[in-house]
Structure 1
Amino acid sequence: MKRRHLLGATAAGLAATAWPGFLRDAFGDGAACDEKGKPSAAQGSVVQVSAAFRRARQAKRALLVFVIPADDAAKWERGQAFGELLNFGADRDLAPLAGVEVVCATMADLKKLVPGAGDGEPLLVLVRTDKVPVAAAQLDVALPRYDGMRGVVTGSWEERQKHDDRIAAQRIGALGALLRQGLGAEADNVAARAASVRARLVKAPPAGAHWAVASGCGTDIEGIDDSGLMACGMGHVPSKSRRFLYFFAIEGRGESPR
């Protein structure tokens, strides 16, 4: 038995030496850096996912990836949905996030580290960091959209606001149910766990994104001086969507999301 265990450990060690540098770094078995200790240029933005994977593994947590779509319009839509959840989700919606490390990343970047992450652009990918090869599961749900109903909503501003709030509640509810289904719905210490999530992901953004605020005629990125982006023509922004996760590089600064 001991001999078989030793052979298995040796084989795993040999396999690890064949992994790309960023993967060895994520598992804590090497450093994906150049001789000066800086991330190697070949890594690209995958270094963000690698760092989050390493944090998750060291904390014995799973890694939850908020998937950034490739399409720019979809970036706005999904960033708003995640913003609604994090800023306005109930305790039971947010509590499941207390037990995972969160990072925002494109599927292209994620699959450089986790080839088995699957196809498409689901809302979330859950990565189990305690297994080799790494196991991943996609979490996805269709979210109600504001645009589909806006043209048929009539009445006063207050009535339109109530309509927006109903759609937001549906979106938050769908994401909360998805998290409980995928991450578990423990009944203990729900309020305390939700408070820890707000402290970790609402006061500051998850890795791979910035918090931003949109008024419908411009966007301000939190923590970035002179970041106002004029976007007149965006039109109405539902109140619960105004603070959202910004998934774009900041033009003129060469700065990618954290």
Structure 2
Amino acid sequence: MNRRIFLGATAAGLAVTAWPAFIRDAFGDGAACDMDGKPSAAPPVAQVSAAFRRAQQAGKALLVLVIPADGNARWERGRAFGELLNFGADRDLAPLAGVEVVCATMADLKKIVPGAGAGEPLMVLVRTDKVPAPATPLDASLPAYKSGRSLDRASWEQQQKDEEKIAAQRIGALGDLLRRALGADERSVAARAAGVRARLVKQPPAGAHWASSSGCGTTIEGVEESGAVGCGMGHVPEKSRRFLYFFSVEQRG
């Protein structure tokens, strides 16, 4: 049974200080997830190290989805990656077939790859065939959704159309970024994309949980129910409702 965690704030910026004790605002504070999305006692830096080794053994590069330090930025970035993985076209997802994927903060990544660079780009591509491992930041500007929900019917319908357009632009920007960085091989695109969906959509990438929210409460997939706090109302664009959750969940019992 999923655990429903009701968060008393808008979907775009939930107040970290209001969270219950079993959720931590620093990803390393509680248990994270292993490569199958199951609870793991391994600290985040160990997950980065394990992902690096898997990539190296498979002769692949490591793609790091960067977890921002700021809590509100984590929500926004998790939704952007969720849009890509859940709604990206085959050509957007196929490049991911050739890399190992992990979610990590830049601080944890730098413990394994000191030359990972500065700032918090959307992603970092790490080659695993050289020592020290070369790293390339991958970044793009993503259009933002307007906050809040229109109240009258005509404005609401227009807002839905605008959000669909923005979602398509965000997915397109991330897909283009991946194709430019990883290559746009047009062979077996559908098959490679299907493999990516099986690996990263049915289960989350290492270092994250899949979660969903429609504006009142957040459900973290695969986590048993154990408590709740008050519900706040917030509007979430349709294609952002299933997203990568970058906060740890402390395991009890």
The percentage of aligned residue pairs carrying the same residue is 72
Superposed structure 1 runs of 4+ greater than 6 Å apart:
148-151
Amino acid at match of 1:186: D
Per-residue CA distance 1:199-247 (angstroms, 9 max, x = gap): 0000000000000011201000001111675563351000000000000
Q: Which residue of 1 aligns with 2:90?
A: 91
Aligned pair in 2 of structure 1 residues 187, 159: CA closer, same or farther (>3 Å)?
A: same
SS of the residue 1:96 aligns to: helix
Amino acid at match of 1:70: A
Q: How far, CA to CA, are the matches of 1:110 and 1:57 in structure 2?
A: 16
Q: Which residue of 2 aligns with 1:187?
A: 186
Amino acid at match of 1:166: K
Q: Which residue of 2 aligns with 1:24?
A: none
State the superposition RMSD in angstroms.
2.4
Per-residue CA distance 1:108-135 (angstroms, 9 max, x = gap): 0000000100000000000000011110
Q: After TM superposition, list the pairs within 5 Å mapping 1:103-182 onto structure 2.
A: 103-147=102-146, 155-182=154-181
Amino acid at match of 2:113: V
| Unmatched tracts of structure 2, length 5 or more | 1-39
Q: Which residue of 2 aligns with 1:50?
A: 49
Q: Which residue of 2 aligns with 1:204?
A: 203
Q: Is the 8 A contact 2:85 2:197 kept in 1?
A: yes
Q: How far, CA to CA, are the matches of 1:234 and 1:140 in structure 2?
A: 31
Q: What is the TM-score of this pair, normalised by structure 2?
A: 0.79
Aligned pair in 2 of structure 1 residues 44, 198: CA closer, same or farther (>3 Å)?
A: closer
Report the alpha carbon displacement of residue 159 of structure 1 after superposing the two structures with TM: 2.0
Amino acid at match of 2:63: L
Q: Which has the larger radius of gyration?
A: 1
Per-residue CA distance 1:16-40 (angstroms, 9 max, x = gap): xxxxxxxxxxxxxxxxxxxxxxx9x
Q: How far, CA to CA, are the matches of 2:249 and 2:132 in structure 1?
A: 35
| Unmatched tracts of structure 1, length 5 or more | 1-38
Q: Which residue of 2 aligns with 1:224?
A: 223
Q: How far, CA to CA, are the matches of 1:228 and 1:83 in structure 2?
A: 25
Aligned pair in 2 of structure 1 residues 222, 173: CA closer, same or farther (>3 Å)?
A: same
Q: How many residues are paired up?
A: 213
The answer to which structure, 1 or 2, has the higher relative contact order (CA under 8 A, 6+ apart) is 2
SS of the residue 1:117 aligns to: coil
Aligned pair in 2 of structure 1 residues 228, 102: CA closer, same or farther (>3 Å)?
A: farther
Structure with the higher fraction of residues in helix conformation: 1
Q: How far, CA to CA, are the matches of 1:150 and 1:142 in structure 2?
A: 24
